[in-house]
């Protein structure tokens, strides 16, 4: 007869179970499921405890996902190990799981951790050749609520790889923004201050917003876009800026983005907003820069219209140009949209000189739509030709004029800080 008995977990066992959890581990590695994960399942998923002399000496806790169950924790009191306690706890928990229709029971634990022998003795098979991957997200429940209020979310991490071409811009942003922010410890080792605020400037349609979103996706940080019209909706723009940045200060990690930032920070001789609004944003940026794990990105089509005080050193770490794609970038963009059907991509690329990424996407969609309509009408599969693309390119009015491209070159020489 054993010196303990096993029963279902009761709410009164929680404190004892937490204390036992702290004493049970036999490895320096953190458990794969946190104690918070375990506690969240108690009361709604099967869990058992072993009790001896009125004291909890072992626990086995699970989470059921459809017909699969995970054993989140097998904890044993150190002075009761080696007596079959772990195997009995697993057997009792397995009975409860089978009664719920569970067909597969799994466990993840560091090598040599408490219960390893019990799992082996209970018929569990260790699987070789498996690598466990883990990514820790940055947002707490309170932060999630705030991000929801702000309409923010973490962009897809693959967005960066989907930006075709634009190799010059990607190289600068990769080295100057993403690398030091993603590896702050290494940056500190080499006395590199990770950036806190940057400006992206360039003609419309060149992908400034997409770059900002892609940076957030690469970092795994929430992306919060602020719209001047919304900031001004209640008590005015200056008050809105103050309120939102006070909320953002509660987040550990965030990329904050304002497109057409000249609406807020235009040169005072040109501004439709008052001086107080510019000053409020400058003050907000000073506070924003005091904390790591945050990045402000402002985008503008007209960097020359920004207030000089706004662009001063110490406020923005970099002022980065994002221009129209060069031939290699245009070719990469076309290849991302055009099927590989023996088309003359070089001719299409040359014909679209001066096109922005948005222009190229529009032209590619036009050809796709025309081809689709022909297929629907004829009932036969259709293939677009090089001539179809060249005709559509010729009929597409580019977003950028020669004057805009010339102005961008002048602005790059005068304002870029890379």
**With pLDDT > 90 as the criterion, what percentage of the chain qualifies?**
46
Q: Helix (H, G, I), strand (E, B), or coil: what is residue 307? A: coil
CA distance 360 to 373: 20
- Three-class secondary structure of residue 248 per DSSP: helix
d(CA 350, CA 344): 10
For 386, the enclosing helix (H) or strand (E) is helix 386-395
Cβ count within 10 A of residue 7:
11
Give the fold, CATH level 3, of 5-121.
Aminopeptidase (3.40.630)
Task: Please tell us whether the domain made up of 327-399 is placed in CATH 3.40.1410.10.
Answer: no
Is-contact 66 105, C-beta < 8 A? no
In percent, the amount of the chain with pLDDT more than 70 equals: 94
50 bridge partner residues: 6, 58
pLDDT tens-place string over residues 208-259: 999 999 999 888 888 999 887 777 766 778 788 888 888 888 888 899 999 9
- Nearest-10 Cα torsion for 183, 185, 190, 193: 70
Q: Are 283 and 384 in contact (CB under 8 A)?
A: no
Phi (first) and psi of residue 221, to 5 degrees: -100, 150
**pLDDT for res 141:** 62
pLDDT bucket at 271, cuts 50 / 70 / 90: very low
Given phi > 0 = left and psi -120 to 50 = alpha, else beta, which region is 220? left
Taking only the tens place, the pLDDT of each residue in 50-95 is: 999 999 999 999 999 989 999 999 999 999 988 899 999 999 999 9
Burial-class residue 392 by CB neighbours within 10 Å (0-12, 13-18, 19+).
Answer: buried
CA 296, 302, 307 angle in degrees (round to 5)?
Answer: 65
What pLDDT, on the 0 to 100 scale, is given for residue 275?
A: 67
pLDDT digits (tens, 9 = 90+) for 273-318: 566 777 888 888 888 888 888 999 999 999 998 888 788 888 899 9
Burial of 329 (0-12, 13-18, 19+ CB in 10 A): buried
State the DSSP H helix or E strand holding residue 73, giving kind and residue range, or none if neither. Answer: strand 68-76
Indicate the average pLDDT of the chain: 87
Buried b (16+ CB within 10 A) or exposed e, 46-83: bbbbbeeeeebbbbbbbbbeeeebbbbbbbbbeebbee
221-250 b/e (C-beta count within 10 Å ≥ 16 → b)? bbbbbbebeebbeeebbbebbbebbeebee
In the prediction, which pLDDT does 234 show?
A: 66
CATH 3.40.50.300 fits 141-324+408-415, yes or no: yes
Position 190 pLDDT exceeds 70: yes
Which long-range contacts (C-beta less than 8 Å, at least 24 apart) are formed by 116-121? 117/86, 118/74, 118/85, 118/86, 118/87, 118/89, 118/90, 119/74, 119/86, 119/90, 121/86, 121/87
The model's pLDDT over 7-53, given as tens digits with 9 standing for 90+, comes to 999 989 999 998 898 888 888 888 888 888 888 888 899 999 999 99
Q: What are the sequence ranges of the domains in the chain?
A: 5-121, 141-324+408-415, 327-399
Q: Would you say residue 1 has pLDDT above 70?
A: no
316-335 pLDDT per residue, tens: 999 999 998 888 889 988 98
């Amino acid at each position: 007869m054993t010196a303990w008995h096993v029963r279902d977990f009761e709410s009164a066992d929680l404190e004892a179970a937490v204390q036992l959890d702290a004493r049970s581990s036999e490895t320096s590695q953190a458990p794969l499921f946190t104690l918070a994960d375990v506690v969240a399942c108690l009361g709604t998923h099967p869990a058992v405890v072993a009790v001896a002399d009125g004291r909890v000496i072992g626990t086995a806790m699970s989470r059921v996902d459809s017909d699969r169950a995970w054993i989140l924790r097998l904890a044993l009191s150190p002075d009761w190990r080696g007596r079959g306690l772990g195997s009995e706890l697993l057997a009792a928990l397995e009975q409860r799981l089978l009664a719920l229709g569970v067909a597969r029971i799994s466990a993840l634990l560091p090598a040599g951790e408490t219960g390893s022998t019990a799992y082996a003795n209970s018929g569990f098979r260790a699987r070789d050749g498996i690598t466990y991957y883990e990514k820790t997200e940055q947002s707490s429940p309170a932060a999630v609520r705030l991000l929801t209020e702000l309409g923010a979310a973490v962009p897809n991490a693959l967005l960066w790889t989907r930006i075709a071409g634009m190799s010059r811009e990607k190289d600068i942003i990769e080295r100057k923004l993403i690398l030091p922010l993603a590896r702050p410890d290494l940056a500190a080792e080499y006395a590199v201050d990770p950036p806190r605020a940057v400006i992206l400037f360039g003609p419309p349609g060149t992908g400034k917003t997409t770059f900002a979103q892609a940076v957030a996706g690469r970092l795994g940080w929430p992306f919060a876009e602020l719209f001047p019209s919304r900031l001004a909706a209640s008590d005015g723009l200056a008050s809105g800026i103050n309120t939102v940045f006070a909320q953002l200060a509660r987040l550990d990690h965030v990329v904050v983005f304002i497109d057409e930032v000249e609406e807020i920070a235009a040169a005072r001789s040109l501004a439709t907003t008052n001086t107080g609004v510019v000053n409020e944003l400058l003050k907000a940026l000073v506070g924003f820069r005091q904390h790591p794990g945050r990045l402000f990105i402002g985008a503008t089509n007209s960097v020359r219209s920004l207030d000089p005080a706004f662009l001063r050193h110490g406020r923005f770490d970099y002022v980065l140009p994002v221009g129209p794609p060069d031939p290699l970038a245009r070719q990469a963009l076309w290849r991302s949209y055009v099927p590989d059907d023996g088309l003359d991509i070089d001719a299409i690329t040359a014909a679209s000189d001066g096109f922005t990424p948005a222009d190229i996407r529009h032209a590619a969609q036009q050809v796709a739509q025309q081809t689709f309509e022909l297929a629907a009408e004829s009932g036969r599969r259709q293939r677009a030709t090089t001539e179809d693309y060249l005709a559509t390119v010729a009929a597409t009015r580019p977003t950028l004029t020669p004057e805009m491209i010339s102005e961008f070159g002048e602005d790059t020489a005068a304002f870029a800080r890379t």
